[in-house]
Amino acid sequence: MRTRPGRLAALVMAAAAAVLTTACGAGTDAGSGSTALRIMAPAAPGGGWDQTSRTAEQAIKAADPARKVEVFNVPGAGGTIGLAQLAGEKGNGNLLMTMGLVMVGAIEQNKSQVTLAQTTPIAKLTEDYEIVVVPAQSPYKSVADLVAAWKADPAKIAIAGGSAGGTDHIAAGLMAKAAGIDPKRINYIAHSGGGEALNALLGNKVAMGISGISEMSEHVKSGKVRAIGVTAPERVDAVDAPTLREGGLDVVVANWRGFVAPEGISEADRKALTDLVTKMHASRPWQDAIKKNGWVDSFQTGPAFADYLAAEQARVKAIIAEMGLVS
Amino acid sequence: MDSLTLLLDGFATALTPVNIAYALVGVTLGTLVGVLPGIGPAMTLALLLPITFNVPPASAFIMFAGIYYGGMYGGSTTSILLNTPGESASMITALEGNKMARRGRAAQALATAAIGSFVAGTIATALLVAAAPLVVRFAISFGPEDYFALAVLAFTAVSSVLSRSVVRGLAALGLGLVIGLIGIDQQTGQARLTLGIPQLLDGIDVVIVAVGLFAVGEVLYVASRLRHSAPDVIPVGRAFLGRQDWARSWRPWLRGTALGFPFGALPGGGAEIPTFLSYAIEKRLARGPGKEEFGKGAIEGVAGPEAANNASAAGTLVPLLTLGLPTSATAAIMLAAFQQYGLQPGPQLFDHNPALVWGMIASLFLGNAMLLVLNLPLAPAWAKVLHIPRPYLYAGIITFAALGVYALNASWIDLIILYVLGLLGYAMRRFGLPIAPAVIGLILGPMAEIQLRRALAIGAGDPTTLIRSPIAATLLALSLLILLLPAARHLLRLRRGRAT
């Protein structure tokens, strides 16, 4: 009798796996030989990390047809559930996890037991800069207008953006700090991503909105919202807008994405993974995807990425604390 | 007239043999995942996203649309037959539908659900063609204070679902509200009621709660009683709708469509609230035999909500196609699919890719017709499911429930949550607490909370913002009226009684 629950669970899992693999059909290679590379998307299917992982899968297959690649999803808590699972794979040289700025924030905010220190940084892949917009009916035309009103009464400037502690929120905090406003006093209205924040802007319910450029550029072009500035160091092609720096707000922040591997992998494995990702980055499908999705190519490996990661962690930790977001 | 020619062109796109085949695959797959508890259209689409690398866009979207509509159809089947809704949107269908099935009217309930879904889907798709710009303007004008007022109205309207015992209804509602609090608070990012378990940070998926309380709870309850009494034999009864069934169904179909379509277009409107409202309205409007049958299996209570949830699926496509604004999980994944093809939904999409957009809209009509043809003859066949010996049937349900929930996140913790909720569902049945209010509380509670806090934050803490918008003021006044009407009537009767 005692074995029954275990057997049932095994059966269920096997059946679920069967359903999932058949449903994936065209997408995944179910082969699980020892050389199969597994890429973890620490989010539900359909989101940004999932998209990056699946694009990488296709690109690696194109760059190295002999290589077996498989993407799997471990959603939850800003990616920290996936991070915890990665920590249990110490020394596994055939595993990559897609991650990015949002995970850095979530680790701080959720006081995650596992941090990025327990991973091996492999590469930074892409960046998506943020854009600050106002409703089409808004009186604010420039960064200066907006900052003047914001300084006068921070509570009156409701800011629509994505989840609390996410890239948009971090950008809002950094902007407040650069403008000389206490980041604790900003009136940030978190939305569950998707269209909710955009809807608040289209309906002229909030004073400003912060979002990724690729999500917002079409609505700027059609005149539904007005672009105030982008958080890039220089102007970008995707949208006709000045940088925040030009407007006097020294803020540069990007929603970047990259790969990390488990900690404790051998030097040879680290090199092999870096080489593979470098080859993937040069491949045609990857370059096409960058163009199609409006990503900024910011490929970086080795110590350069490790340093970048460390700097981002320090910056995010500080601003999240200053905004009073740590529980 | 211009849209009409474009729509005809669209039919030309949709009616190629390859695309018909994709539509057929879509609706069949959709019906299947709708029938399975837990696995919904959103997840199916997400898993199928990689096909965008290999399939031309028109075909992919025709299949996706089929899955979306099919999922809405399939959800009603298990609700009616087994009282185990696989999606929260078909939960209300179970209330009257399952009672109908127990009285030997399963085939009628399935038929009214299928025809109602067809009617609603077709009308709503036609509205999508004709009234999209108008609906979008209405949807955008909705602010947080309006959503809050809407949630309040839904709370008061569904109080009719709890009416048999107010105390038990409120207890169940409270339970749902508490479950809804679990997880990261969206506005501040702080964890609530997570007991330090990281897997609870994202809250408990409403699908797990619905499947746990309804399906697993029902299975345990039935299992617990198998030995006490021989299961009553359920007659399958006559197959199709009688004249009286038609007469009682058509108005609820239309009313359900009218409710569902605009709600689908609202970001954050969802498919659930219109089903609650439709049920409440049908219950209040019922006359004659329907009035007596409500609570015991009234066909109106199946026809209305089923039409509402299908119409909302079409409504969701309005802001998605015209603005690039996804208003449901499924729509968000469709948006991702558009972006995979390098397409950005919005007004430009209609100009730049008319073949794609109109082909997809035409395929919605086509898919709807296919679903009716597929489902209507199947209704009596499905009804025979009830003849499967209970132990096998319910063992099957629990297997599929676990499978569906595990497939959501591939997390064993979800399975533990499922069974804990299943035990809770069993206990609620054992002690006579209704299940539906708990799920209603879970859906409406977080919405009311977040929108109230957003409205107050945007208004810098001024409570009058809640009634400043005309929509919010009207909705709140309506809620007040619903609350006060019975009391006023009671008072009036008292006074009249004293006078005589």
| C-beta atoms of B43 and A15 within 8 A | no
Residues from chain B that touch A113, judged by Cβ atoms under 8 A, are 198
The gap between the terminal CA atoms of chain A, to the nearest Å, is 44
In a domain, A241, yes or no: no
- Say which of A12, A158, A165 has its CB closest to residue B458: A158
In a domain, A13, yes or no: no
DSSP A160: E
- Alpha carbon of B202: minimum distance to chain A alpha carbons (Å): 6
- Using CA of residue B436, residue B442, residue B445, residue B451, what is the dihedral sign? negative
Q: Which of A230, A245, A280 is the last residue of a domain?
A: A230
- Alpha carbon of A257: minimum distance to chain B alpha carbons (Å): 17
| B191, containing H or E segment | strand B191-192
| C-beta atoms of A292 and B342 within 8 A | yes
In a domain, A272, yes or no: yes
Lowest mean pLDDT segment, chosen from A13-27, A72-86, B131-145, B357-371: A13-27
The answer to whether residue B237 neighbours chain A at the CB level (below 8 Å) is: no
Residues from chain A that touch B46, judged by Cβ atoms under 8 A, are 44-46, 50
Question: Considering chain B, what is the average pLDDT of its residues?
Answer: 82
Q: What band does A30 get if pLDDT is binned at 50, 70 and 90? A: very low
Residues A212, A261 within the same domain: no
The answer to whether residue B167 neighbours chain A at the CB level (below 8 Å) is: no
Cα–Cα distances (Å) from B411 to A206, B46, B209, B326, in that order, read 38, 17, 15, 27
In chain B, what percentage of residues exceed pLDDT 70? 94
Could you read off the pLDDT of B56-79 as tens digits, one per residue?
A: 888 888 888 888 888 878 788 888
| C-beta atoms of B399 and A12 within 8 A | yes
Which residue would you say has higher pLDDT here, A46 or B419?
B419
- Alpha carbon of B217: minimum distance to chain A alpha carbons (Å): 18
Which of B32, B206, B399, B458 is the mutation pick for testing A, counting most A CBs within 10 A?
Answer: B458
| Mean pLDDT value of segment B338-343 | 76
Question: Considering chain A, what is the average pLDDT of its residues?
Answer: 82
What pLDDT score does B194 carry?
Answer: 83
Residues A140, A226 within the same domain: yes
Q: Answer yes or no: is pLDDT of A3 > 60.
A: no
- Alpha carbon of A114: minimum distance to chain B alpha carbons (Å): 11
What pLDDT score does B500 carry?
Answer: 58
Residues A150, A196 within the same domain: yes
- Say which of B335, B340, B402 has its CB closest to residue A12: B402
Single out the residue of B431, B398, B442 nearest to residue B209, CA to CA.
Answer: B442
The answer to whether residue B137 neighbours chain A at the CB level (below 8 Å) is: no
The answer to whether residue B25 neighbours chain A at the CB level (below 8 Å) is: no
Q: What band does A24 get if pLDDT is binned at 50, 70 and 90? A: very low
**Under a CB-based contact definition with an 8 Å cutoff, are residues A296 and A214 in contact?**
no
What pLDDT score does A8 carry?
Answer: 40
Q: Which residue of A has its CA nearest to B332?
A: A194
Which bin fits A301, alpha (ψ -120 to 50), beta or left (φ > 0)?
Answer: beta
The domain ranges of chain B are: 2-499
Residues A201, A58 within the same domain: no
The answer to whether residue B460 neighbours chain A at the CB level (below 8 Å) is: yes
Helix axes B91-102, B300-323, angle to 10 degrees: 150
The answer to whether residue B319 neighbours chain A at the CB level (below 8 Å) is: yes
Residues from chain B that touch A27, judged by Cβ atoms under 8 A, are 47, 49-51, 53
What pLDDT score does A175 carry?
Answer: 93
Distance CA A173, CA A175 (A): 5
> Can you name the residues that pair with A160 across neighbouring β-strands?
A189, A209
Q: Which residue of A has its CA nearest to B454?
A: A189
Distance CA B31, CA B69 (A): 8
CA angle in degrees (0–180, nearest 5) for B392-B393-B397: 115
| C-beta atoms of A205 and B46 within 8 A | no
Could you read off the pLDDT of A162-201 as tens digits, one per residue?
A: 888 888 999 999 999 999 999 889 999 988 765 678 888 8
Lowest mean pLDDT segment, chosen from A80-84, A148-152, B192-196, B325-329: B325-329
The answer for B 67-126 residues in CB contact with A (under 8 A) is: none
In a domain, A26, yes or no: no
Distance CA B471, CA B394 (A): 46
In a domain, A172, yes or no: yes
What pLDDT score does A33 carry?
Answer: 39
| Mean pLDDT value of segment B195-210 | 83
Coil, strand or helix: which one is A266? coil
- Which residue bears the tokens 């959603």? A75
| Mean pLDDT value of segment B420-427 | 94
Q: Answer yes or no: is pLDDT of A101 > 80.
A: yes
In a domain, A313, yes or no: yes
Whichever domain contains A146, its CATH number is 3.40.190.10
| Mean pLDDT value of segment B453-480 | 88
| C-beta atoms of A46 and B346 within 8 A | no
Residues from chain A that touch B54, judged by Cβ atoms under 8 A, are 26
Lowest mean pLDDT segment, chosen from A12-21, A227-236, B352-361, B460-469: A12-21
> How many CB pairs lie under 8 A apart between chains A and B?
169
Which bin fits B55, alpha (ψ -120 to 50), beta or left (φ > 0)?
Answer: beta
The answer to whether residue B336 neighbours chain A at the CB level (below 8 Å) is: yes
Lowest mean pLDDT segment, chosen from A230-234, B155-159, B448-452: B155-159
What pLDDT score does A31 carry?
Answer: 34
| C-beta atoms of B51 and A27 within 8 A | yes
Cα–Cα distances (Å) from A197 to A145, A172, A205, B8, B187, in that order, read 22, 14, 10, 36, 13
In a domain, A101, yes or no: yes
The answer to whether residue B327 neighbours chain A at the CB level (below 8 Å) is: yes
Residues from chain A that touch B187, judged by Cβ atoms under 8 A, are 164, 189-190
- Alpha carbon of A100: minimum distance to chain B alpha carbons (Å): 18
| Mean pLDDT value of segment B419-446 | 89
- Which residue bears the tokens 């009767």? B493
Which residue would you say has higher pLDDT here, A103 or A325?
A103
Q: Which residue of A has its CA nearest to B45?
A: A46
| Mean pLDDT value of segment A237-266 | 89
Residues A110, A85 within the same domain: yes
Could you read off the pLDDT of B14-69 as tens digits, one per residue?
A: 888 888 898 888 888 888 887 777 777 777 787 787 777 678 888 888 888 888 88
DSSP B186: T
Q: What band does A46 get if pLDDT is binned at 50, 70 and 90? A: low
Q: What band does A131 get if pLDDT is binned at 50, 70 and 90? A: very high
What pLDDT score does B178 carry?
Answer: 93
Residues from chain B that touch A85, judged by Cβ atoms under 8 A, are none
In chain B, what percentage of residues exceed pLDDT 90? 9
What pLDDT score does B235 carry?
Answer: 62
Could you read off the pLDDT of B67-116 as tens digits, one per residue?
A: 888 887 878 888 888 887 877 788 888 888 888 888 888 888 888 888 89
Q: Answer yes or no: is pLDDT of B330 > 90.
A: no
The answer for B 262-291 residues in CB contact with A (under 8 A) is: 267-268
| Mean pLDDT value of segment A266-292 | 87
| C-beta atoms of B410 and A189 within 8 A | no
Q: Which residue of B has its CA nearest to A27?
A: B50
| Mean pLDDT value of segment B132-158 | 81
Structural domain including A89 reads: 33-127+256-322
- Say which of B49, B319, B457 has its CB closest to residue A195: B319
Distance CA B418, CA B420 (A): 6
Residues A139, A221 within the same domain: yes
Residues A101, A178 within the same domain: no
In a domain, A197, yes or no: yes
Which of B36, B55, B67, B184 is the mutation pick for testing A, counting most A CBs within 10 A?
Answer: B184
Q: Answer yes or no: is pLDDT of A29 > 70.
A: no
CA angle in degrees (0–180, nearest 5) for B461-B466-B472: 160
- Which two structure tokens, joined as six digits, stand for B449? 């909370």
Q: Answer yes or no: is pLDDT of B348 > 60.
A: yes
Distance CA A56, CA A300 (A): 15
Q: Which of A230, A264, A298 is the last residue of a domain?
A: A230
| C-beta atoms of A76 and B319 within 8 A | no
Q: What band does A5 get if pLDDT is binned at 50, 70 and 90? A: very low
In chain A, what percentage of residues exceed pLDDT 70? 88
Whichever domain contains A47, its CATH number is 3.40.190.150
- Alpha carbon of A50: minimum distance to chain B alpha carbons (Å): 10
**Under a CB-based contact definition with an 8 Å cutoff, are residues A36 and B426 in contact?**
no
| C-beta atoms of A44 and B348 within 8 A | no
The answer to whether residue B246 neighbours chain A at the CB level (below 8 Å) is: no
Single out the residue of A130, A99, A153 nearest to residue A296, CA to CA.
Answer: A130
| C-beta atoms of A194 and B201 within 8 A | no
> What count of residues does chain B have?
500
Number of domains within chain A: 2
**Under a CB-based contact definition with an 8 Å cutoff, are residues B250 and B462 in contact?**
no
What pLDDT score does B392 carry?
Answer: 86
Q: Which of A187, A214, A230 is the last residue of a domain?
A: A230
- Say which of B201, B333, B458 has its CB closest to residue A77: B201
Q: Answer yes or no: is pLDDT of B320 > 50.
A: yes
Q: Answer yes or no: is pLDDT of A32 > 60.
A: no
Residues A40, A120 within the same domain: yes
Q: Answer yes or no: is pLDDT of B375 > 70.
A: yes
What pLDDT score does A219 carry?
Answer: 85
Q: Answer yes or no: is pLDDT of A26 > 70.
A: no
DSSP A232: S
**Under a CB-based contact definition with an 8 Å cutoff, are residues A199 and B331 in contact?**
no
| Mean pLDDT value of segment B365-373 | 87
Say how many C-beta atoms besides its own lie within 10 A of residue A246's C-beta.
14
Which of B47, B135, B202, B451 is the mutation pick for testing A, counting most A CBs within 10 A?
Answer: B47
Residues from chain A that touch B342, judged by Cβ atoms under 8 A, are 292
Residues A137, A225 within the same domain: yes
